[in-house]
Structure 1
Amino acid sequence: MSDQRHHAIDYVELPVTDLEETKRFYTEAFGWRFNDYGGAYAGIRSPDGTSEVGGLNPGGEVRGGGPLVLLYSEDLDRTVEAVERAGGRVLQGPYDFPGGRRFHFADPSGNELGVFADS
């Protein structure tokens, strides 16, 4: 049976300026793994490794104002440290919001993502 759900977010694609640098960043900061497609694309593997949940597209145009992708963290402060250590830039926070805390960061290509944790 497929894990895909009707009307659910199924795949998130990030445009990138440097595929190898972006893969290094997400591997170091979050432990992500990738399926490589000859340097023209990298699929983001699901946590269990059985499928893809997104991709890195070096042919896409990095632009602001798109949807904000949020990741979950069990330890927000350690995730902030991992992002900074991997070369990401914290753009906002961490800050409190109803139900938890979150921060926003930019990856090496300039894509803005957020990370949240329960309170």
Structure 2
Amino acid sequence: MPLTLEIDYVEFYSAELEATEDFFGKAFSWEFVKYGPDYRDIQNAGIGGGIERSGPKAPLIVLKTDDLPAAYQQVSDAGAEITKEIFEFPGGTRFEFREPGGTDMAVWCPA
């Protein structure tokens, strides 16, 4: 069963809204409510968030997992571009990636 990765809160912007919606569904098992052609409300992500059709412009979004290798494989298989391979930092390990619509994100695991 795929891992469900959760965020605390974020507003994503994507020039490729449908590709971003598809990617997030495959990579994180999130669901969406469509509010017109240019906005998706994110469901089952921990707390509220959304995706707006716009040029990519967002801070780095960090998701938490207890199984970093499984999260890495799942995100990679869903079509992410890995921008930083798994590395250690004080408190844990993480990797960074870019989803198909251009949002830079990361997944970390506590030590």
- 1:40 is aligned, of 15, 38, 41, to 38
- Structure 2 distance, partners of 1:117, 1:73, is 5
SS of the residue corresponding to residue 91 of structure 1 reads strand
CA displacement 1:1-45 (0-9 Å, x = unmatched): xxxxxxxxx741111122111111111111111111122200111
CA distance in 2, matches of 1:17, 1:85: 21
Q: Say yes or no: does 1:98 pair with 2:77.
A: no
Deviations 1:36-91 (A, max 9, x none): 1122200111447xxx6111111x2214xx52210001111111111111001110
* Structure with more strand by fraction: 2
Aligned to 1:56: 51
Q: Cα RMSD between the aligned structures?
A: 1.7
Structure 1 residue ranges (4+ consecutive) displaced by more than 4 angstroms after TM superposition = none
TM-score w.r.t. structure 1 length? 0.79
The percentage of counterpart residues that share the same residue type is 35
Which consecutive residues of structure 1, in runs of 5 or more, have no partner in the other structure? 1-9
Where structure 2 has 5 or more consecutive residues not aligned to the other structure, the ranges are 1-7
Larger RCO (CA under 8 A, 6+ residues apart): 2
Q: How many residues align?
A: 104
Q: Distance in 2 between matches of 1:110 and 1:89?
A: 9
Task: Return the letter of the residue paired with 1:55.
Answer: G
2:4 match: none
Quote the offset at 1:109 in angstroms: 1.2
Q: TM-score, normalised by structure 2?
A: 0.84
In 2, the alpha carbon distance for the partners of 1:47 and 1:55 equals 10
Greater Rg, structure 1 or structure 2?
A: 1
CA distance in 2, matches of 1:47, 1:26: 10
